[in-house]
Amino acid sequence: MTLAHDDFWSAFVLLVLILDPFGSLPVFTGLMRALPERRRFAVTLRELLIAYVVLLLFMWGGQGFLRIMGLSQPALEVAGGVILLMVAVKMIFGTSADIFGGAQAGREPLIFPIAVPLLAGPSALATVLLLASRRPGDFLTWAGALTAAIAATGSVLLLAEPLLRRLGDSVMQAAEKLMGLILTAVAVQMLLSGIHAYFGL
């Protein structure tokens, strides 16, 4: 019982760090600004639910999907690293609207870019896959941790507007650039890990 309890909290903390709700705030608020204020709450809940379902399905069937497609873990890491690097460069040199152009001209984002890849991105997909493949028999523990992590992330995102008003645009833009720098390092590490694993260096 204690072991399962510890596993739950370890997985919860890991998933919250990977989902990175505070780091997602600059991108998220930039996308939400294009929507009418009355629609923001509903859109946020919808995208959180979609991201949760995608991550849960990947946790449940990701290992089998990789086998069917003939994909290896190094390939997943390299692909994720490339995507994250592209996003990070745009975060540093562009704006939130340039990164994910889904919410423009009054259109609501649907799946892309908030649910995928902002929340259910390559790193999050790889994390739930690793958790499930480590001990498949503890699926309920991992699913519970994912549910709690999505709930915590959603709580932060739903408070995005008050946080933005309190901190101001300049602080949020600075945070966006900082997260871009951190994300660059994460992307490079993913690329190096994938290459290292593939060549057995």
Amino acid 149: pLDDT: 96
CA 56, CA 147: separation in Å to the nearest integer? Answer: 9
Q: What is the mean pLDDT of the chain?
A: 79
143-180: per-residue pLDDT in tens?
999 999 999 999 989 988 787 677 766 776 776 677 67
- Residue 49 reports pLDDT greater than 90: yes
Closest CA to 138 of 35, 11, 48: 11
Cβ atoms 106, 31 nearer than 8 A:
no
108: left (phi over 0), alpha (psi -120 to 50) or beta: beta
Amino acid 105: pLDDT: 46
Amino acid 182: pLDDT: 73
93-114: per-residue pLDDT in tens?
765 455 554 445 457 888 888 8
Name the token pair of 61. 């069937």
Most confident region among 46-55, 59-68, 69-78, 96-105 by mean pLDDT: 46-55
Summarize the confidence of residues 27-46 as an average pLDDT. 86
Give, in order, the Cα–Cα distances in Å from 136 to each of 53, 63, 128, 197.
Answer: 18, 10, 11, 23
